């Protein structure tokens, strides 16, 4: 049973774990999209995630550009984030359920981060004065490889780029198609 004093502590712990999970997901996106790691924002993310990632990377496990060690670490941090609020209540999770649900949550949050990058990049493109900021450069480096196949299919129209809108629709459809079966599988375990 949770008491009055433990709720703020659990909230702070979940917030810290969520921040670290966010940094790990960004690191994974940076590696997959091959962004410029000399960008100051990338350097901050690398400095935050290296202390946890370096000891685990003694055996490189890559499938293409995807770092499997990073995926395992993000899934473990997500599982801890899910389990943390229930730790003091005595609620029991099956380990299999927790792992599958945390992987689904990790994928859902990755899609959400990319969705927000597309939104921020589209809004940032309206303001030329801010396009030189490292965050907008980084967002362009994340979104540009995703825009390229869409731009190859859809021809350019008189100065209006529809690729961000189409990419947002694709991300939403992927979230609707991929995430619910993962959570259903976790529910059945």
pLDDT category of residue 1 using cuts at 50, 70 and 90: very low
- pLDDT exceeds cutoff 70 at 129: no
pTM of the model: 0.90
pLDDT at 185: 94
Cα 114 from Cα 101, distance rounded (Å): 20
Name the more confident of 187 and 58. 187
Q: What are phi and psi of 160, to 5 degrees?
A: -110, 125
The answer to whether the beta carbons of residues 8 and 68 sit under 8 Å apart is: no
Q: Report which of residues 172 and 136 the model is more confident about.
A: 172
Q: Single out the residue of 59, 60, 95, 58 nearest to residue 79, CA to CA.
A: 95
Res 130: pLDDT: 62
CA distance 99 to 109: 15
Cα 157 to its chain centre, rounded Å, is 31
Instruction: Return the SS3 of 161.
Output: coil
Residue 88, pLDDT above cutoff 80: no
Model confidence at 21, pLDDT cuts 50, 70, 90, reads very high
Mean pLDDT, residues 26-37: 94
Residue in the structure block whose two tokens are 């362009």 = 140
pLDDT of residue 104: 96
Confidence (pLDDT) at 101: 94
* Percent of all residues in the chain with a pLDDT value above 90, rounded to a whole number: 65
State the burial class of residue 48 (Cβ atoms within 10 Å of its Cβ: 0-12, 13-18, 19+).
Answer: middle
């Amino acid at each position: 049973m949770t008491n009055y004093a433990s709720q703020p502590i659990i909230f702070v712990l979940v917030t810290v774990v969520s921040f670290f999970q966010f940094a790990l997901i960004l690191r994974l996106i940076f590696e997959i999209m091959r962004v410029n790691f000399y960008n100051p924002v990338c350097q901050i993310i690398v400095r935050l995630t290296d202390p946890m990632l370096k000891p685990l990377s003694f055996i490189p496990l890559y499938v293409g550009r995807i770092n499997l060690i990073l995926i395992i670490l993000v899934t473990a941090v997500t599982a801890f984030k899910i389990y943390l609020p229930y730790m003091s209540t005595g609620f029991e999770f099956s380990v299999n359920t927790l792992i599958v649900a945390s992987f689904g949550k990790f994928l859902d949050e990755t899609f959400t981060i990319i969705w927000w990058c597309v939104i921020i990049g589209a809004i940032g493109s309206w303001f030329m004065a801010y396009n030189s900021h490292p965050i907008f450069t980084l967002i362009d480096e994340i979104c540009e490889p995703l825009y390229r196949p869409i731009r190859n299919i859809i021809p350019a129209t008189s100065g209006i780029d529809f690729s961000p809108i189409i990419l947002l629709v694709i991300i939403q459809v992927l979230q609707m198609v991929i995430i619910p079966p993962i959570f259903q599988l976790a529910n059945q375990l």
